Amino acid sequence: MKDLPKVSVIVPTYNEEKVIGSLIKSISNQSYSNIETIIVDDGSSDNTVEVSKKLGVKVYKRSHAERSVQRNFGVGKSKGKYFLILDADMELTSDVVGDCVKLLEKDKKIGASIIPEISVATNFWEEVKAFERSFYNLEGDSVTDAARFFRKEAFKKAGGYDESITGPEDWDLPDTVKKIGYKIGRIKSIIYHHERIKSPFKIAKKKYYYALKSHRYLKKQRIKTFSPKTVYFLRPVFYKNWKRLLAYPFMSLGMFLMLTLELIYGGIGFFLGKITNK
C-alpha cells in the first residue's frame, strides 16, 4: 500500500441516508486499496452522518455551504495525491479508482479524468434521463463531459472549485484545468448514478436554481449564452445519432419534454440571476 499513491474521495452530503451507504460500500470494494473517504455534511437532519461514521469514513460538518465550498473544504482535509469528487447518490464499479490512477500515473500531462456515468432508473422519468445520458456516453461528449478525478497539483493550480458558482462548477473546474495546460483524460470504467427524479418538474426546478449563477461561469469561460453548452437542442450528439431517436420514439418524446422544461426553467434562472447579479 505504501507504494500506491493515496486517493482522497470527497463527498458532499445533505440528508443522504438512503444512498450514502451504497456509495461508501462501493468505495470500499474498489480493486485499488489506498483510498481515504471524506464526507462533508451540510447539517443533515437524518442519519447520514451516523451511517457514514458506522462505515468507518471521516465526517466533517460544513453547514450552510454550497457544493463547491463543501468539496474544497474536503480537499483541504485530505492527504491524497489524487482527488475523486462524487455525489452521494452514486456507486462505483470496482476498477474506477484504479483505472484513474493508472491513467494519470502513465501521463503526467493529464490533470484530470472523465468517468462515464450510467443513470439507474426506477421510474419512467429516470428512464428518460438514462436515455438522454446514453447519448453522451456512446463515445464521450466534449459538450457535457465533466471530469471528477483530479491530480492534486492541477486542482490546486486551477484554484479548486469556484465557490461563486453553483451548478456549472462541475464544468468550470475541468475547463480551467485544461486552460492552464493540462490534458483531460477518460477511462472506460463507469459510475452508476441514482438520479432520483420523481417528475420532470423536480429536475427543472433544480436547473432553475443552478442557472441563477450560471452567467458567472459563461463569462469566466467565455462561452456564448446560446450554445450547445446551454441549449440542449443545439448539442450535435443528438443529431449524429438521429437513428436512435427514431428507434425509441416514446423515450425520445419524453426526453424532448424533459429537456424543454429544463431549458425554460434554466433560461428563467439564468436571466433572473444575471439581472439581479446573483
Q: pLDDT tens digits for 216-231?
A: 999 999 999 999 999 9
Could you tell me which CATH number the domain at 7-198 has? Answer: 3.90.550.10
Break the chain into its structural domains and give their ranges.
7-198
CA distance 204 to 266: 7
Contacts 24+ apart (CB under 8 A), 124-127: 124/254, 125/197, 125/198, 125/199, 125/200, 125/203, 125/254, 125/258, 126/195, 126/196, 126/197, 127/251, 127/254
CA distance 63 to 44: 9
**Where residue 139 falls among pLDDT bands split at 50, 70, 90?**
confident
Write out the E strands in 110-206: 110-114, 117-120, 149-151, 183-186, 191-194
Over residues 174-201, mean pLDDT: 95
Q: Looking at residue 140, what is its pLDDT?
A: 86
Q: Which residue has the cell 483530479?
A: 150
Residue 118: φ, ψ to 5°: -120, 125
Q: Looking at residue 2, what is its pLDDT?
A: 58
CA distances from 231 to 167, 226, 266 (A): 15, 6, 10
**Where residue 149 falls among pLDDT bands split at 50, 70, 90?**
very high
At 72-116, the pLDDT tens digits run 999 999 999 999 999 999 999 999 999 999 999 999 999 999 999
Q: Looking at residue 93, what is its pLDDT?
A: 98
Q: What is the mean pLDDT of the chain?
A: 95
Q: Which residues pair with 120 in a beta bridge?
A: 194
pTM for this entry: 0.93
Write out the E strands in 15-148: 35-41, 58-61, 82-85, 90-92, 110-114, 117-120
CA distance 9 to 24: 10
pLDDT at 138 over 80: no
CA distance 257 to 232: 12
Higher per-residue confidence, 151 vs 195: 151
**Where residue 277 falls among pLDDT bands split at 50, 70, 90?**
confident
> What is the three-class DSSP state of 222?
coil
